[in-house]
Homo-oligomer: A and B are copies of this chain.
Amino acid sequence: MAVKVIEINRDVYAGALTLADETRQRLRDEKTCLINIMASPGAGKTTLLLETISRLPQLNIGVMEADIEAAVDAEKMAAAGVRSIQVHTGGECAMNASMTRQALDEFETADLDLLFLENVGNLVCPAEEDVGAHKSAALLSVPEGDDKPLKYPLMFQVVDAVVITKTDAKAYFDFDEEAVCDRIHRLNPSAAIFFVCAKSGEGVDAWCEWLQSVVTSI
């Protein structure tokens, strides 16, 4: 499958908040649920999405890959037969509502049940942007450490779900599961928290059930 790469220009659309709301409504009308996936570089976004998509054959799923440069993630998706598009942010540290809309305008979404936006690897800037998603999730990998909600609180405040990834590395890294849950819930009492290992598949089903319920409810 060929990978389509879009070079995005900033500020083609004006009025970001309205635009995000419009995007949400347009996708809701199409019955396409948009989920914004955010995390640091290397937290395992692409690997988790590939494993997730393989476990949800009942859903028609697409992925918008956002990166500053390169198309390695969209190529991985395409190699797995997933409909995907690579978005280049031109150096921007996160997708915003305008850039998301430009990407959507290039992507056939009408027949999709679920569309993931895999945002730029960054735990700071993406938390500040309403891209027009229906739900959002942050990934935090075990090697990053259980103190990250203390240092990057906004990200953990704004998301609907937190996925702790690479749980198979627990033996290698000190990571206090109870402490991380406590830190997340102090910032965001209603956040759903999942512990997953995409490699072994452990915990992925619970995350998939959450996604299925989100898709059903929009």
Contact = CB atoms under 8 A, between A and B. Distances in A.
A148 B41 contact: yes
Copies in the complex: 2
A82 interface: no
B70 A150 contact: yes
19 contacts: A40-B41, A41-B123, A41-B151, A41-B152, A42-B144, A68-B153, A69-B150, A69-B153, A72-B151, A91-B128, A93-B124, A121-B123, A121-B148, A125-B125, A143-B144, A143-B166, A168-B172, A169-B172, A172-B172
Given A41-B123, A42-B145, A68-B152, 18 more contacts: A40-B41, A40-B42, A40-B121, A41-B148, A41-B152, A42-B144, A42-B148, A68-B124, A68-B153, A72-B147, A121-B151, A122-B124, A122-B125, A125-B125, A143-B144, A143-B166, A168-B172, A169-B169
